[in-house]
Copies of this chain bind each other. A is one copy, B any other.
Amino acid sequence: MELAHLQRLMEDTYGERDRARGVAAAVAWLAEEVGELAQAARKGGPHERTHEIGDVLAWVATLANLLGVDLEEAAARYAHGCPKCGAVPCRC
C-alpha cells in the first residue's frame, strides 16, 4: 500500500470526525496507541503486534491529515539512506 493511499483511506474513513475532535485529541489517541504497541511488543503475540502497528500507522496518517502533512514527503526523508550521514547502512 502506498503511503498516500493510507492517508486517503484515513481521510475518507475518519476525516470529518477527526477534524471535529481536533489535533490535540489525535495526539492523545496516537500516544494511547503507542502505549498499546509498547505492551504488545513486551508481551503480545504476532496478531496483537500487527494489530497495534496498524493502529499506530492509522493515527500517524490521521495526524498528518490534520496537520496538512504529506506522508510521502515525510517518508522521503529516509528514501536515500540515513538523513544525517547519507549512508546505507547508516554510519553515524
Contacts and interface: CB of A to CB of B under 8 A. Distances in A.
Q: How large is the interface on A (under 10, 10 to 19, 20 to 34, 35 or more residues)?
A: 35 or more
A60 B58 contact: no
A27 B41 contact: yes
Contacts of A55: 77
B89 A77 contact: no
A79 to B, nearest CB: 7
Interface string A35-79: 001100110001001110111111010011001111111111111
Given A54-B75, A63-B53, A78-B54, A46 B68 contact: yes
Given A46-B69, A53-B74, 14 more contacts: A1-B76, A12-B89, A13-B88, A14-B90, A27-B41, A41-B63, A50-B69, A50-B70, A53-B64, A53-B67, A54-B75, A54-B76, A54-B78, A58-B78
